[in-house]
Chains A and B, each alone.
Chain A
């Protein structure tokens, strides 16, 4: 069996797939890749089902040895990957010979990259998914980020349809992570005055150090709520923009709490969630309000681009 031996894990490397939706009634959020577009395209490059389990690296990559080799692809942000001293192209499939060690460094662009291997990371799914749920310590590889010395099995090889494979540049350009996040109204948009909403839509917000798979705290001009209504805890959607009393927005992300008691002024559209997954601390974002029809159209367009990428 092929394996990956972790020589150094990097800052925060976990096994992720497309997550485990369906367990909201017991308080379990779906989890899954922070940049699902990068995961899906990476898997496609190595002839895996697009939701296959892969490694998600955060800000700083590690060193991974492949004692028996593997066919791999790296997608998402540029972590300066090298193999045997040569740069490895992003968004393209490549072969690692037996004994090869892949080195990844600090990111040169966004927050996360994905290492997909042909055959996928072969670990026992938990509630139908290989995704690591960090808070509960469940799923993924022993429910935790990788450590030095971990050995991850790679699943059996299937059919490789082509040796040369990459994602066309013009397609990638259209899937580039955005720093202007498009949002729709949230369930409590009406609790905020037009003046307050204008602050949100006309200001720059900076991602703080408190940014992880559960959520991203932003800082910038405060957005006051003008309603004295008492918020009753309710279910929260992926990408919800919560506004606590401080008026500093929090974007709920893939490993989010399933319910919350803060008013939600807006919600990042589904098509821009992968962009959220590439935001690093100190990055600056803006918000642009769109209507639901536009959000749906953008999701369909993005899906067509992803499907065209082969």
Chain B
């Protein structure tokens, strides 16, 4: 495990403590988040009621009638001290079929043009990379994927859409991801997948679990329709 530098504990509310592994999105900081999360999931602190991981921080929510910030911080520091011993699970490889462009990816052409490339090249580039699921958040089953090729990094839309269709694949800054539900959103949409992201009946409850290695496979409109039938 790489050196993380100082870990910061900060009350986020009267019933939560934010544990930060630095102020930059780095693999080492995200590794720290995943290790502490795994440790807290396997060796539970009774007064902790929920955990919200992110790129380089973990929000620990607790029952304020049972514990307070200082006491929890002491406990969490002892967990942090044990983090290196945590055996990290072998990441799963996940492939997500995506129909790029057209009505499924209304922002693809503009995004490609912003980078001076043809839409097909932007698709090929997006589908060539292997992404790491840094964490799941926002809504059920939304995996924040790191590892987007630099030449595809694009700022969010100036005005977010009020409703993004389910399964939309988007880019925001240097991250990419799939919308599991129809929500408002400012990511630039380049395609859509017909497969369900949140799967509460399955082991990890989500097609993509934290730490997974994810790739996108371009499919045709016809394949999209066929997969939609088998997935519904």
A binding-site residues for B, Cβ under 8 Å: 21-28, 30, 126-127, 133, 135-136, 138, 184-187, 232-240, 257-260, 264, 267-270, 292, 295-296, 299-300, 303
Residue contact B181 to A22, C-beta cutoff 8 Å: no
Residue contact B140 to A235, C-beta cutoff 8 Å: no
CB of A246, distance to nearest CB on chain B (Å): 12
- 9 smallest beta-carbon distances between A and B, as pairs: A235-B59, A235-B52, A259-B137, A295-B14, A267-B13, A237-B13, A237-B16, A24-B52, A21-B49
| Residue from B11, B69, B139, B144 with most neighbouring chain A CB atoms (10 Å) | B139
Residue contact B139 to A235, C-beta cutoff 8 Å: no
CB of B89, distance to nearest CB on chain A (Å): 14
Residue contact A257 to B138, C-beta cutoff 8 Å: yes
User: Is B170 part of the contact surface with A, judged by Cβ < 8 Å?
Assistant: no
Residue contact B137 to A237, C-beta cutoff 8 Å: no
Q: For residue A23, which residues in chain B have a CB less than 8 angstroms away from its CB?
A: 50, 140, 205
Q: For residue A238, which residues in chain B have a CB less than 8 angstroms away from its CB?
A: 13, 15, 61
B141-183 near A? 1/0 per residue, CB < 8 Å: 1101000000000000000000000000000000000001101
Q: What 11 new A-B contacts, CB under 8 Å, besides A126-B200, A136-B140, A138-B140?
A: A26-B141, A26-B205, A27-B198, A136-B180, A232-B56, A234-B20, A235-B54, A235-B57, A235-B59, A237-B13, A296-B68
Residue contact B181 to A259, C-beta cutoff 8 Å: no
Q: Which of B14, B37, B137 contacts A233 (CB 8 A)?
A: B137
Say whether, besides A127-B200, A233-B55, A258 and B138 are in contact (CB < 8 Å): yes
User: Is B10 part of the contact surface with A, judged by Cβ < 8 Å?
Assistant: yes
B34-65 near A? 1/0 per residue, CB < 8 Å: 00010001000000011111111111010011
Q: For residue A300, which residues in chain B have a CB less than 8 angstroms away from its CB?
A: 65
Residue contact B51 to A24, C-beta cutoff 8 Å: yes
Q: Which of A25, A135, A240 contacts B12 (CB 8 A)?
A: A240
B binding-site residues for A, Cβ under 8 Å: 10-16, 18, 20, 23-25, 37, 41, 49-59, 61, 64-65, 68-69, 135-142, 144, 180-181, 183, 198, 200, 204-206, 210
Q: For residue B25, which residues in chain A have a CB less than 8 angstroms away from its CB?
A: 232
Say whether, besides A24-B52, A27-B140, A187 and B183 are in contact (CB < 8 Å): no
Q: For residue B206, which residues in chain A have a CB less than 8 angstroms away from its CB?
A: 26-27
Residue contact B138 to A232, C-beta cutoff 8 Å: no
Say whether, besides A27-B142, A236-B52, A259 and B135 are in contact (CB < 8 Å): yes
CB of A152, distance to nearest CB on chain B (Å): 22
Q: For residue B15, which residues in chain A have a CB less than 8 angstroms away from its CB?
A: 237-238, 270
Say whether, besides A22-B50, A25-B51, A135-B181, A234 and B57 are in contact (CB < 8 Å): yes
Residue contact A270 to B136, C-beta cutoff 8 Å: no
Residue contact A184 to B14, C-beta cutoff 8 Å: yes
Q: For residue A269, which residues in chain B have a CB less than 8 angstroms away from its CB?
A: 13-14
Q: Report the nearest B residue to A20, measured CB to CB.
A: B50
10 contacts between A and B (CB under 8 A): A27-B136, A136-B139, A138-B140, A184-B11, A233-B144, A234-B59, A235-B18, A235-B51, A237-B61, A238-B61
Residue contact B138 to A27, C-beta cutoff 8 Å: yes
Q: Report the nearest B residue to A229, measured CB to CB.
A: B23
CA distance A21 to B64 in the complex (A): 14
Q: For residue A126, which residues in chain B have a CB less than 8 angstroms away from its CB?
A: 200
Q: For residue B198, which residues in chain A have a CB less than 8 angstroms away from its CB?
A: 26-27, 136
CA distance A24 to B16 in the complex (A): 13
CA distance A299 to B64 in the complex (A): 8
Q: For residue B140, which residues in chain A have a CB less than 8 angstroms away from its CB?
A: 23, 26-28, 133, 135-136, 138
CA distance A189 to B224 in the complex (A): 46
CA distance A25 to B15 in the complex (A): 17
Q: Which of B50, B65, B141 contacts A24 (CB 8 A)?
A: B50
Q: For residue A26, which residues in chain B have a CB less than 8 angstroms away from its CB?
A: 136, 140-141, 198, 204-206
CA distance A204 to B142 in the complex (A): 35
CA distance A237 to B52 in the complex (A): 9
Q: For residue B53, which residues in chain A have a CB less than 8 angstroms away from its CB?
A: 24-25, 235
Residue contact A187 to B10, C-beta cutoff 8 Å: yes
Q: Report the nearest A residue to B68, measured CB to CB.
A: A296
Say whether, besides A187-B10, A233-B137, A292-B11, A25 and B56 are in contact (CB < 8 Å): no
Q: For residue B12, which residues in chain A have a CB less than 8 angstroms away from its CB?
A: 186-187, 235-237, 240, 264, 267
Q: For residue B137, which residues in chain A have a CB less than 8 angstroms away from its CB?
A: 24, 27, 233, 235, 257-259
Q: For residue B58, which residues in chain A have a CB less than 8 angstroms away from its CB?
A: 235
Residue contact A24 to B23, C-beta cutoff 8 Å: no
Residue contact B52 to A239, C-beta cutoff 8 Å: no
